[in-house]
Amino acid sequence: MSPSRHPLDPLAPSEITQISSLLKKLSPDHTIHFKIINIDEPPKAQLRAYLKAERNGSPLPQLPRRASALYYHRGTSHLFKATVNVDESTVELVEQLDSHFHAQADVNEIIEMRDACLSNPKVLERIEAYKLPPHLKVICDTWPYGRDSEDQHPRYVQCYLFAEGDHPGSNHYDLPLPFSPILDMTTKELADIIQLPTGPKSELRPDAVFVPHPPKEYHHDLQSKPARTDLKPLMVHQPQGVSFSIDGHLIQWQKWRFRLGFNWREGMVLHDVTYDGRELFHRLSLSEMFVPYGDPRMPYSRKSVFDVGDIGAGVAANNLALGCDCLGVIKYFSFVIGDSNGNPVEKPNAVCMHEIDDGIGWKHTNTRTGAVSIVRSRVLVLQTIITVGNYEYVFMWHLDQAAGLHYKIQATGILSTAPIDKGVTVPFGTNVNEGVMAPFHQHVFSLRIDPNIDGDKNTLVEEDSVAMPWDDNNPYGVGYVTEKKALTSSTHSDSAPNRVHKIINPHSINPSSGHPVAYAIHSPSKQMLLAHPKSWHGRRAKICLPSFLAGDYTYQSHPSHTPDLASWAGRQDTTEDTDIVVWHSISLTHNPRTEDYPVMPCDTMTVSLKPSGFFDQNPALDVPQSTQAGNGSRLVEDEALKHAVEGQASGCKREVKL
């Protein structure tokens, strides 16, 4: 392996080209349609040995550098998986996948499908009959076809059509058309045009023509009301620079040390996370997400997207912009992925990193003496934002000074809309404008947690708070205890209001409490999948049932053919006191409100990983006290006298003595 590349460094542009060239040479009679070219992270045991040696300053083992590729012979449905040894420039393995498997869409393909759709004569004929006014043009959002039968389909794309005006920010979701073409992604031929139901039930009106309505636009150029004029700027300064240090993808901040990764599918990944030299997590990533819709009518019954597996959180990552996506003193990370021709493509500013102040860290006032002890909470933010058609998702890691990691997901962007007849309402959606219905749906996210709590022999434990029986040991009926159940073989585990999940190291004992060190998963107890488990939504996305992953090939996946976490968990491997991986699901039931349209204020969910007896006392005790001299706050009244509050004694006011 090239000594200058870390095993976890994403592929360099030259490596992507090297790999695609090798694979193209293997199929001289075909044009290769690349879907994935990605670094293969080394097998965990070898990788952990490397990472430990790196942290300890020991000699580094040699790890071969390998990559995976997934590709079609262009214009066919023949899908291949290959492994390439990058160091030796050799192809180690090629296998053709069973025809049940379909690769995800890619950016180039999406453009081709849109063009094919909008130039198809039958589609144009239908558009003509809809009688749109001349100033509007039709555009096409492509959706994964989903699944609603056992049959093996060709690889299809569902095209939802909208009309838009000239402005680059015109809100086409405000003008959904009531018919939807389906195209074969291999042949680019039209398979069908489905009339969309626009009545209260499944009524179809194939002769419907365009009916105008007052628009709802989000772009600031297109607002009828002027922008607010009373918002004064707020700026974040770090006059002595930032507290983090960076060496390539290695980041260190406030006792945290970790390596930032990135790939086409998961987007941002955190590797080898340690705090104050102690091992915490081997790998943290967004493994999958699923957005099933609750409109029961065809074709909406198929409307369900795996935005990670079907599209790719890395592929869909925004180019973050200074001051707009990130406030303060910012570090941007750019990455490179492969395109459908095997060429490297930049994802500039795909991840940003910066510090924020997050309020009070901890405080206590001794009311007898007046002594105040207070620190503020400084947090390190790593952020990436993806656009997947209408929706945006913001994904962030917040690392705090008390050794907590918080994964925050925000949904924003534009609701998926469907046409609806004037005067009609449905019980599974909200009318957000005249003729515009936003169906109920859920957003389910799967966070892959590969723990390394003081080492890799861990166990997942359910810890429930349970009332003691009212008896002689509990004579007043107020006592409660915790009951712990270790999960000893691979399985799923439900959340509950009285339950916390902990990842423990049974061999590392906290000297004060006497209990094994642990990290706890704190997550809101939310409703999981509303669709029936035996529906296609339920069968394809068992992540919506507790803690299951959807597998590698989500596009039009057939659950019987797709190995997924349900099948892996079904193996009943031993999971006690060993190297385990936890997939944690969190969901948001989203019944659109009118306030979510024409663009949605961020709705936030947080999963927190917090130490639970991992440290012998508060790990943020040594954070310096918060002082006015250091923080430079100002009184509103003194703003005009900019120097009035400078020079105040450092330290905090004493409380009134009791």
Active site residues: 307, 391
Residue numbers 451-480 binding its own copies by CB under 8 A: 465-468, 470, 473-480
Residue carrying the six token digits 């699923």: 290
Cα(411)–Cα(174) distance, rounded to whole angstroms?
19
User: Of the candidates 134, 207, 234, 277, which one interacts with its own copies according to CB under 8 A?
Assistant: 234
Residue numbers 310-349 binding its own copies by CB under 8 A: 318-319, 321-332, 349
SS3 538: helix
| Those residues with Cβ within 8 angstroms of residue 69's Cβ, 6 or more apart along the chain or in another chain | 19, 20, 23, 34, 36, 37, 38, 80, 81, 82, 83, 84
Closest to its own copies by CB, 75 vs 477, is 477
Interface with its own copies, residue 643, by CB under 8 A: no
SS3 111: helix
User: Of the candidates 16, 51, 403, 449, which one interacts with its own copies according to CB under 8 A?
Assistant: 403
Closest to its own copies by CB, 487 vs 645, is 645
> x/- binding map, residues 111-150, to its own copies, per CB under 8 A?
x---------------------------x--------x--
In the complex, least distance from residue 83 CB atom to its own copies, rounded to whole angstroms: 30
Interface with its own copies, residue 557, by CB under 8 A: no
Cα(443)–Cα(427) distance, rounded to whole angstroms?
19
Interface with its own copies, residue 374, by CB under 8 A: yes
Cα(254)–Cα(658) distance, rounded to whole angstroms?
37
Angle among Cα 12, 17, 18 to the nearest 5 degrees reads: 90
The one-letter code for the residue type at 348 is P
Which pair of structure tokens corresponds to residue 326?
Answer: 């990130």
In the complex, least distance from residue 481 CB atom to its own copies, rounded to whole angstroms: 4
Residue numbers 172-211 binding its own copies by CB under 8 A: 201
Closest to its own copies by CB, 124 vs 322, is 322
Which residue, among 386, 372, 374, 379, has the nearest Cα to 357 in the 3D structure? Answer: 379
Closest to its own copies by CB, 394 vs 566, is 394
Interface with its own copies, residue 94, by CB under 8 A: no
CB 155 within 8 A of CB 555: yes
Closest to its own copies by CB, 24 vs 255, is 255
Interface with its own copies, residue 242, by CB under 8 A: yes
Is it true that the peptide bond before 506 is cis, omega within 30 degrees of 0?
Answer: no
> x/- binding map, residues 486-525, to its own copies, per CB under 8 A?
-----------xx-----------x-xxxx--------xx
User: Of the candidates 59, 595, 643, 647, which one interacts with its own copies according to CB under 8 A?
Assistant: 595
Which residue, among 409, 416, 446, has the nearest Cα to 430 in the 3D structure? Answer: 416
Q: Is 235 left (phi over 0), alpha (psi -120 to 50) or beta?
A: beta
Interface with its own copies, residue 225, by CB under 8 A: yes
Residue numbers 34-93 binding its own copies by CB under 8 A: none
For residue 231, count CB atoms less than 10 angstroms from its CB and return exposed for 0-12, middle for 13-18, buried for 19 or more: exposed
Which residue, among 568, 538, 584, has the nearest Cα to 286 in the 3D structure? Answer: 584
Contact segment (CB under 8 A) with its own copies among 1-9, 24-32, 364-372, 576-584 equals 364-372
In the complex, least distance from residue 382 CB atom to its own copies, rounded to whole angstroms: 13
In the complex, least distance from residue 357 CB atom to its own copies, rounded to whole angstroms: 5
User: Of the candidates 32, 208, 409, 432, which one interacts with its own copies according to CB under 8 A?
Assistant: 432
The one-letter code for the residue type at 339 is D
Cα(12)–Cα(25) distance, rounded to whole angstroms?
20
Q: How many residues does the chain have?
A: 658
C-alpha dihedral sign at 124, 126, 132, 136: negative
Angle among Cα 520, 524, 528 to the nearest 5 degrees reads: 115
Contact segment (CB under 8 A) with its own copies among 35-43, 128-136, 236-244, 575-583 equals 236-244
SS (H, E, C) 556-576: CCCCCCCCCHHHHHCCCCECC
Task: Tell me the number of residues near its own copies by CB under 8 A.
Answer: 187
In the complex, least distance from residue 443 CB atom to its own copies, rounded to whole angstroms: 13
Closest to its own copies by CB, 3 vs 277, is 277
Cα(256)–Cα(465) distance, rounded to whole angstroms?
31
User: Of the candidates 21, 96, 99, 527, which one interacts with its own copies according to CB under 8 A?
Assistant: 527
User: Of the candidates 49, 136, 182, 356, which one interacts with its own copies according to CB under 8 A?
Assistant: 356
Closest to its own copies by CB, 85 vs 554, is 554
Contact segment (CB under 8 A) with its own copies among 150-158, 263-271, 306-314, 626-634 equals 626-634
Residue 379 bridge partners (DSSP): 356, 400
Closest to its own copies by CB, 84 vs 175, is 175
Query: DSSP per residue over 371-431, as a string?
Result: -EEEEEEEEEEEEEEEEETTEEEEEEEEEETTS-EEEEEEEEE----EE--TT---TTEEE
Rounded to whole angstroms, what are the CA distances from 263 to 36, 130, 286, 481?
Answer: 10, 43, 11, 44
User: Of the candidates 41, 266, 392, 450, which one interacts with its own copies according to CB under 8 A?
Assistant: 392
Closest to its own copies by CB, 430 vs 452, is 430
Interface with its own copies, residue 649, by CB under 8 A: no
Interface with its own copies, residue 568, by CB under 8 A: no
User: Of the candidates 9, 112, 434, 576, which one interacts with its own copies according to CB under 8 A?
Assistant: 434
In the complex, least distance from residue 218 CB atom to its own copies, rounded to whole angstroms: 6
